[in-house]
Amino acid sequence: MTERLEGEAGLTRAVALLRAGELVAIPTETVYGLAADARNGEAVAAIFEAKGRPRFNPLISHLASLEAAAEVGVIEGAALELAQTFWPGPLTLVVPLRADSGLSSLVTAGLDTVALRVPALPLAHALLTALDGPLAAPSANPSGKISPSTAGHVAESLAGRIAAVLDGGPAEVGVESTIVDCSGPSPRLLRPGGLPVEALEAALGAPLNHEAPTNDTAPNAPGQLSSHYAPGKPVLLNVTKPAKDALFLAFGPGYPHASANLSLAGDLREAAANLFAMLHALDTQPGSAIAVAPVPHHGLGLAINDRLTRAAAPR
């Protein structure tokens, strides 16, 4: 059952649950987030499972301070300017990921950039300070439903699917954070949100680029990612007998000669946690292609197959 947590004791309990790899809905000034330890791949996979998200889009990592954020991503130039002006607050910055960030590659969906945010709500700040580590957290609603601004909203929609809800009262802002991509040559607005664009432009002393990136391969719904990690090698799906010169990414028992196995036990949560890291690793090994064994089409298998299908699409 989902615990309702409040006050000092609730905070301590939330930290313990998150450290143990459990999911906890947490308050922020924008909306409630469905949080997991961003360094724990299986915990992050459980976020997608609980939300019923049919695809893996990268998640925002929440940190206690600019200093803590700078250990995960490279915050320089315009990103540093914006972080110093608006953090803590309803602004998310996409910046280059540090190689030693320690984040699960499921958080960034295998990308080499990361979305970072330092929330302003004192309870969120206290939680992140006590935890002393990054929390991955999308909005705490089932896929396709509106974002929750109270603990009650979260409990209504996710009760029984998550360990706990930490009650921090109604979210003041009520809409998600504004996202600015600072990983390119000039800052670009990815998602309008709680921090007005005019405030950002005033701080930058220049208009923000609003245009969608030109390398779009898929329709780009608001708040959806436009570029995707894809291996350099061809990817072949539903393979049970791979060609000799191909690398073989297996799922489940019965593949003793696989190059790697998403989950020997056939566990979809473990497979989701391994997906991007294993694709990356195989992509650097000698071989003509990456052949992938069949992955079942239920639960997290839907998101895994969605991502594999895109990786296999002709480019």
Binding site for Mg ion (CB under 5 A): 139
**Given the complex with ligand TXA, which of 224 and 285 has the nearer CB atom?**
224
Q: Does 106 bind ligand TXA (CB under 6 A)?
A: no
Whole-number Å distance between alpha carbons of 237 and 58 = 23
Reported in sequence order, the residue ranges of the chain that DSSP labels E, i.e. its strands, are 3-5, 24-26, 33-37, 60-62, 91-96, 113-117, 135-136, 164-166, 178-181, 188-191, 235-236, 247-250, 260-261, 290-292
Instruction: Report cis status (omega within 30 of 0) of the bond before 88.
Output: yes
> What region, left, alpha or beta, does residue 212 occupy, with left being phi > 0 and alpha being psi -120 to 50 degrees?
beta
111 binds, among Mg ion, ligand TXA, none (CB under 5 to 8 A by kind): ligand TXA
Provide, rounded to whole angstroms, the least separation between the CB of residue 127 and ligand TXA: 12
C-alpha 170: how far from its chain's center?
Answer: 24
**Given the complex with ligand TXA, which of 118 and 271 has the nearer CB atom?**
118
Contact pick of 135, 137, 200, 308 for ligand TXA (by CB under 6 A): 137
11 binds, among Mg ion, ligand TXA, none (CB under 5 to 8 A by kind): none
**Given the complex with ligand TXA, which of 44 and 239 has the nearer CB atom?**
44
113 binds, among Mg ion, ligand TXA, none (CB under 5 to 8 A by kind): ligand TXA
User: What does the buried/exposed string (b/e) look like for 277-288 if buried means 16 or more CB atoms within 10 Å of the residue's CB?
Assistant: ebbeebbeeebe
Which one of the spans 23-31, 68-76, 199-207, 263-271 is the region binding ligand TXA (CB under 6 A)? 23-31
The residue count for binding ligand TXA (CB under 6 A) is 28
Q: Does 30 bind ligand TXA (CB under 6 A)?
A: yes
- 225 Cβ contact partners less than 8 Å away, ≥ 6 residues apart: 57, 58, 109
**Given the complex with Mg ion, which of 13 and 51 has the nearer CB atom?**
51
31 binds, among Mg ion, ligand TXA, none (CB under 5 to 8 A by kind): ligand TXA
Whole-number Å distance between alpha carbons of 130 and 7 = 14
DSSP structure class, residue 139: B
Using CB under 6 A as the binding rule, the residues of this chain from 222 to 251 that contact ligand TXA are 223-225
Residue 215, Cβ neighbours under 10 Å: how many?
8
240 binds, among Mg ion, ligand TXA, none (CB under 5 to 8 A by kind): none
Contact pick of 104, 149, 150, 177 for ligand TXA (by CB under 6 A): 177
Whole-number Å distance between alpha carbons of 250 and 291 = 8
Nearest-5° angle of CA 279, CA 251, CA 136?
A: 55
Provide, rounded to whole angstroms, the least separation between the CB of residue 136 and Mg ion: 13
* Start-end of H helices in the chain: 7-19, 41-51, 66-69, 77-86, 122-131, 151-158, 197-204, 268-283, 301-312
Q: How far is CA 261 from CA 15, 131, 239, 274, 282, in A?
A: 32, 32, 13, 9, 11
Residues 42-61, one symbol each (x = binds ligand TXA by CB under 6 A, - = not), give ---------------xxxx-
Provide, rounded to whole angstroms, the least separation between the CB of residue 253 and ligand TXA: 34
Q: Does 33 bind ligand TXA (CB under 6 A)?
A: yes
Provide, rounded to whole angstroms, the least separation between the CB of residue 92 and Mg ion: 12
- Rule CB under 6 A: which residues touch ligand TXA? 28, 30-31, 33, 57-60, 92, 94, 108, 111, 113-115, 117, 137-139, 176-177, 179, 181, 190-191, 223-225
